[in-house]
Amino acid sequence: MNLKQLKRICRQGENQHVEFKQNLNHPEQVIEEVVGFANASGGSLYIGITDRGEPLGLRHAEADLAFIREHLAERILPVPVFTAGLIEIDEQRAVIRIEVPEGNRKPYGYVPAGAEVRRVLYRVDDHCLQASRELKNIMRGRQRQVLAYTDLEKAVLQAARALGPAGKRQLAEQAGYPARQVSECLVRLVIAGVMQIHPARGGDTFSIKEAD
């Protein structure tokens, strides 16, 4: 990628597949974005660009690039596929570009400094969300499986038809089953391709998947 192409991306702004960071003052934010892209549909992270899309660049870009490559490989489990390189702004400054394809070993996560629990993030629009238990279980069971339609599955599907896109607790209340059972049922239905999950900042919603 050259500077002209980079400026075009800067004008378009951040979105589902593009994120800007001005510097590496908070490397864990970079880790989160890479994790979020790998768990979703992939994307590109540019370091050295303001949130407003100004390509300021980094003065020590080569050293920063070596640092972040090592950091990503050490902190994320499992290690996702990614490529990283530099886009020159001028003789003194460059932008780091990190390309992250959708991963095939989901869910990806990392343990923040001083914490004990692994964080799993998921990219939605122009921000990363903490993945819900349902979303993490769906990512773990990506392969479709044979689904047994018990009374629980039938009740959840009937509730989904009545409510449209709805959260786990709404569906549980409508179906008349405990939220924990409905949670497990929703995971099975999404993995089987019968329903779909819609991760969102206010909480995941689920809906019946339309026929292709």
pLDDT in tens, 135-157: 999 998 865 566 788 999 999 99
Could you give the C-alpha distances from 199 to 11, 25, 37, 125, 134, in angstroms and in order?
Answer: 27, 29, 14, 10, 10
Q: Name the stretches of the chain with pLDDT < 50.
A: none
pTM of the predicted structure, to 2 decimals: 0.89
What are the b/e assignments for 44-55, b being 16+ CB within 10 Å? bbbbbbeeebeb
Both 80 and 12 in a single domain?
Answer: yes
Domain that holds residue 43: 3-131
Quick one: tokens of 102?
């959708």
Q: Which of 114, 131, 148 is the last residue of a domain?
A: 131
Q: Which of 109, 131, 153 is the last residue of a domain?
A: 131
What's the confidence (pLDDT) of residue 212?
Answer: 63
Region label for 176, one of left (φ > 0), alpha (ψ between -120 and 50) or beta (otherwise): left
